[in-house]
């Protein structure tokens, strides 16, 4: 019985994923999802991500409001992303409430905390984003990238370069792009120096990337 249930559940998940991501048939995906009696956190994450991809972030919050189980770290990360995309009063209220109630053990999770940083930066709540960043025990390039991007989005270009200069790990193509954009916006002696140095040191494989180049 359990094996049949699990098999059917995975089949439904696969159908929902395919319906949302490939066919973009949101109504059918929502109908299928509503037919599932015992919805798992993973199922919610699949739905949340699919809806965000299909520019239906508002529906993510609708689903969350109906959620009968506690969101896990993956749900929270995706919900923070949805709130960042929406960036309206409802999203701000939901996102900040989720963050305030987030279990302590999730706060040291890079993915969840980085999503929270991105959300807060979109809200213009730079101080709260900075607090989360400072509290993180380990930081990766995605975390640094979220901070740099957030500062740039809030037109705090000097702060963006300050945090960039603290990065002690290998850069990815996204970070190169964000910092180049920051230097272009700032366009002072410091920005020119950093931008030219960064360009000179950029790995060869990134030079064929249309975005970074």
3-state secondary structure 148-177: HHHHHHCCCHHHHHHHHCCCCCCCCHHHHH
Average pLDDT, the chain: 89
| Contact call for residues 97 and 65 (beta carbons, < 8 A) | no
pLDDT the model gives residue 180: 95
pLDDT, average across residues 65-88: 96
On the question of pLDDT at 7 being above 70, the answer is: no
pLDDT the model gives residue 19: 64
The predicted-structure confidence for 23-64, as pLDDT tens digits, reads as follows 678 888 888 888 888 888 988 998 999 899 999 999 999 999
Q: Which of 33-47, 67-81, 165-179 has the least mean pLDDT?
A: 33-47
Q: Which of 12-16, 149-153, 158-162, 177-181 has the least mean pLDDT?
A: 12-16
**Angstrom distances, CA of residue 112 to CA of 25, 49, 108, 131, 180:** 28, 14, 8, 14, 26
On the question of pLDDT at 194 being above 70, the answer is: yes
Q: What is the pTM of this model?
A: 0.87
pLDDT the model gives residue 158: 97
């Amino acid at each position: 019985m359990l094996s049949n249930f699990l098999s059917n559940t995975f089949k439904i998940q696969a159908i929902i994923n395919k319906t949302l991501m490939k066919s973009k048939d949101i109504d059918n995906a929502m109908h299928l999802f509503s037919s599932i009696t015992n919805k798992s956190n993973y199922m919610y994450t699949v739905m949340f991500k699919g809806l965000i991809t299909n520019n239906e972030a508002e529906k993510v919050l609708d689903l969350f409001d109906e959620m009968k189980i506690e969101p896990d770290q993956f749900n929270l990360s995706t919900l923070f992303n949805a709130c960042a995309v929406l960036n309206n009063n409802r999203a701000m209220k939901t996102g900040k409430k989720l963050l305030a109630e987030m279990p302590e053990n999730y706060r040291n999770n890079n993915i969840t905390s980085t999503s929270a940083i991105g959300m807060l930066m979109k809200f213009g709540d730079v101080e709260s984003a900075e607090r989360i960043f400072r509290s993180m025990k380990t930081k990766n390039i995605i975390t640094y990238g979220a901070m740099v991007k957030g500062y740039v989005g809030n037109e705090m270009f000097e702060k963006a370069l300050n945090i960039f200069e603290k990065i002690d790990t290998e850069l990815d193509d996204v970070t190169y792009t964000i910092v180049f954009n920051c230097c272009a916006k700032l366009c002072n002696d410091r920005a020119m120096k950093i931008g030219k140095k960064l360009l000179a040191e950029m790995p060869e494989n990134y030079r064929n990337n249309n975005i970074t180049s």
